[in-house]
Amino acid sequence: MGRNGTEVAVVGGGIMGTSSAWHLARRGVRVTLLERATVAFGGSGRTGALLRRHYSNEPEATLAQKGWETYAHWPEIVGGDPVHTPTGLVVTVDTSAACEGNVAKLHRNVALQNRLGIPARAVGPDELRELQPFARWDDVRVAAYEPDSGYVDAVAATRGMAVAAVAAGAAIREGCPVLGVATDGTKVTGVRTADGLILAEVVVVAAGPWTNRVLAGTGVALPIAALRVQVAILHRPLELEAPHFVYLDTAAGIFCRPWAPGQTLVGVGGGDQHDPVDPDAYAEQNDPSYPALAIAAMARRIPAM
């Protein structure tokens, strides 16, 4: 194909798109990645980036383990500085009377992880107090503990993957919105952009909440929705200077991870705090009541905060 053609067009400059471009380019495929704004502009630049492998099914747990292997060995595999901080990770479950089955489910999940070679184990409140003595665990009957999980610098990872893709031969065009997928009525022929048609034999759509807009007219629609998830950055007191684990803490209704030195990122709740929105038009600031909600929720698990 000529100047306006490529073997594979990748739509979206998040971690999925840049990873696709890198994997293709290093195998000798001519690939062009098209990003409407800048690399890591969307969800990959606005994520808590918790890195876990605790899932209830083998495909997701296997994929998570493959991802962990890349993030944990980033300099050797992708190149550049490390992007993974292995703080350790704890997953709790609601064990109230209405959720009695959650204990058995957690044990099944841990057993699945172990079959896949993931070093997770179930721990009780006594061991949790030994691991994180500054936290309250009286509401937790059992938790899953992953000692080598933690969190990722998502922006650094996404941009680092983009740099590696370009080094492998990929082309990346930022500020190039894709308006739709071009077809000849029987097969994909490329993508329509604000700058014109780009011919491609294969199109990979990794556009997150914009995916269905890109796919409009192709007969393909995916059950994807954009959610507004609020988080707060809290300052830890000096007595908690050392970073804590990452918590996926259903029992307390929070998720949290260390942020900058002496700071913690915390999110509260599930669906009741996650509002469906238009990804191009939503309130990017917290609700006025949210910081107080986050502080109160975090203090239930770590009273000093």
More confident residue, 204 or 185: 204
pLDDT surpassing 50 at residue 2: no
- CA 179/CA 11 separation, integer angstroms: 10
> E strands within 22-80?
31-35, 50-51
Would residue 266 be called left, alpha or beta, if left means φ above 0 and alpha means ψ between -120 and 50 degrees? beta
pLDDT classification of 108: cutoffs 50, 70, 90: very high
**Mean pLDDT across 134-140:** 96
Tokens 């998720």 -> residue: 255
For the stretch 17-63, pLDDT in tens is 999 999 999 999 999 999 999 999 999 999 999 999 999 999 999 99
Query: Would you say the CATH fold of 62-150+226-301 matches that of 5-47+155-215?
Result: no
Q: Is the pLDDT of residue 3 over 70?
A: no
Whose CA is closest to 1, among 218, 192, 190, 187?
Answer: 190
The superfamily (CATH) of domain 5-47+155-215 is FAD/NAD(P)-binding domain (3.50.50.60)
The DSSP line for 154-200 is HHHHHHHHHHHHHHTT-EEEES--EEEEEE-SSSEEEEEETTEEEEE
pLDDT of 87 higher than 50: yes
pLDDT at 96: 79
Structure tokens that stand for 249 in this block: 């803490």
Mean pLDDT in residue range 182-194: 95
Residue 100 has pLDDT above 60, yes or no: yes
The answer to whether 174 touches 37, Cβ cutoff 8 Å, is yes
**CA distances (Å), 197 to each of 5, 25, 179, 191, in order?**
9, 22, 10, 6
Delimit the domains of the chain by residue range: 5-47+155-215, 62-150+226-301
Residue % of the chain over a pLDDT of 70: 97
227 beta partners: 276
Pairing mode, strands 31-35 and 50-51? unpaired
Length of the chain: 305
Is residue 270's pLDDT more than 80? no
**CA gap 105, 175 in Å, rounded:** 45
Q: What is the pLDDT of residue 98?
A: 65
Helix 102-115 with 58-72: angle, nearest 10 deg: 60
Query: Where does 62-150+226-301 sit in CATH, by number?
Result: 3.30.9.10
Decide: 229 and 267 in contact? Cβ < 8 Å: yes
Could you tell me which residue, 131 or 99, shows the higher pLDDT? 131
d(C-alpha 167, C-alpha 17), whole Å:
16
**Residues 97-117: what's their mean pLDDT?**
92
pLDDT value of position 281: 95
pLDDT at 196 over 80: yes
What tokens does 35 get? 């990003």
List pLDDT tens digits, range 154-171: 999 999 999 999 999 999
Average predicted confidence (pLDDT) for the chain: 95
What does the alpha-carbon distance between residue 181 and residue 142 come to, in Å, rounded to a whole number? 48
Residue type at 62? T
Interatomic CA distance for residues 282 and 76, integer angstroms? 39
For the question of whether the overall pTM of this predicted structure is more than 0.85, the answer is yes
pLDDT at res. 33:
99
